[in-house]
Amino acid sequence: MALRATLVWLSVLVLVGSSVSVEADPNYRDALAKSLLFFQGQRSGRLPATQQINWRTSSGLYDGRLANVDLSGGYYDAGDNVKFNFPMAFTTTVLSWSTLEYGKRMGPQLQSARAAIRWATDYLLKCATATPGRLYVGVGDPNVDHKCWERPEDMDTARSVYSVSPSNPGSDVAGETAAALAAASLVFRKVDPQYSRLLLSTARKVLQFAIQYRGAYSDSLGSAVCPFYCSYSGYKDELLWGAAWLFRATNDVFYFNLLRSLGAGDSTDIFSWDNKYAGAYVLLSRRAFLNKDKNFEQYKQQAEQFMCRILPNSPSSSTQYTQGGLMYKLPESNLQYVTAITFLLSTYSKYMAATRQTFNCGNLFVTSSTLRNLAKKQVDYILGVNPLKMSYMVGYGPYYPKRIHHRGSSLPSLARHPQSFGCEGGFQPFYYSANPNPNILIGAVVGGPNQNDGFSDDRTDYSHSEPATYINAAIIGPLAYFAGSSRS
């Protein structure tokens, strides 16, 4: 009887799925709204009256106190309660870039995008200006935090403060912070000129610090950032990325000369919070496309080499695809690479379409549609057009992950359970439970399926079930691109 009931339910689910046409044409506008809402669930600091994800309340209000500074605000990076500035700054840069490229297609979500950016930049400004000659780069001891399963509102672990300085450099985290502030300054240039000027002047100082005192933050901070967000690719890519953004924001020849001194010889087939080369090449290629500036032709060539390593039918492709068509880069949190690379595909496609250009990968002829179609396939897969008919965005479509690896989502809210959970208090009744999470973190994109298109929806399997700010930040642009160019 139970089996028959299950089969009936499955057939209903299939019918529901087909009637809302999740497969044929995802609702990109709905997905865009939800993916931006997710950032509210990651907020640290004092939450405003406009907070819509209401099972979250204020937390981390005294962050920075151990260093006698105010470092409240910003975002928790993923399912934990730590503020890691390296991925947070990357998240901010990509959110800003998405808004610059696709803001006109965002419609009513443009305000939400700006709010998501500003929540991060208000915090990054504090980190950059609180103490002269020092850049704060994180709050919360990750080694202690990762042994706990408690709500952000209950945190009773040490809120250790980490920073880089001339004697303990961090060119990577400083370069990324400068990129974030510079990119955001362009977002706010017309709507809040004073704030934009503050962001840009701070970006200049932070990049100067990154150039002057060179070194990797992993070497300076050790176990406070490794193995969580080690700078595996070194810091040259962040200097290139920071210089690219400051050049776009200022047109200052100083940054152009810095770019030339850094060169563009590093080939890559990935884009992530750690490795920015491909992003810098696409960003800088914009000058070659739209300004016909020959000085930037080398970056355009590098960007095209990158695309040739991604395209499935290219002779130089180094990218695997699952049977269902999903790009597969690495086993841990694969969707972070999928969303970031998809952002570059859609953006480069846009530049190509605007200038009616094409290129070749050996014998493969590549048009703007080639890149656009691959980007659409990746977005559609994430939204449910896949062998499991599973949307990997929480709250989108009829079938999505219910047991995500996320402390706040998996524990009852303060309203329902006013007593605090101690460090290990959430493990037994909630972390190891097979029950769905009590709070739905709408819009969260999780780490995604395995290389066989399988997904177990298991809270303890963090590499597949954990959401992260940088996964979501990168899908915003493609969602806006397809939302704005669809007829719906």
Report the C-alpha gap between 19 and 22 in whole angstroms.
8
Catalytic machinery residues: 405, 457, 466
Residues 164 and 220: beta-carbon distance below 8 Å: yes
Sign of CA dihedral 354, 355, 361, 364: positive
Residues 402 and 395: beta-carbon distance below 8 Å: no
Residues 95 and 179: beta-carbon distance below 8 Å: no
Report the C-alpha gap between 487 and 344 in whole angstroms.
23
Left, alpha or beta for 292 (phi > 0: left; psi -120 to 50: alpha)?
left
Distance from the first to the final alpha carbon of the chain: 42
Question: Which structure tokens are listed for 219?
Answer: 């070497």
DSSP secondary structure code for residue 43 in this structure:
B
DSSP secondary structure code for residue 392 in this structure:
S
Report the C-alpha gap between 4 and 2 in whole angstroms.
5
CA-closest candidate to residue 274, choices 206, 310, 309, 227:
227
| Residue 313: partners with Cβ closer than 8 Å, 6 or more residues away | 364
| Residue 310: partners with Cβ closer than 8 Å, 6 or more residues away | 269, 317, 319, 327, 341, 345, 374
Question: Which structure tokens are listed for 327?
Answer: 């790009």
Element (H or E) spanning 361, and its range?
Answer: strand 359-361
Q: How far is CA 286 from CA 93, 299, 353, 479, in A?
A: 16, 9, 12, 21
Q: What is the dihedral of CA 318, 323, 326, 332, to 10 degrees?
A: -80
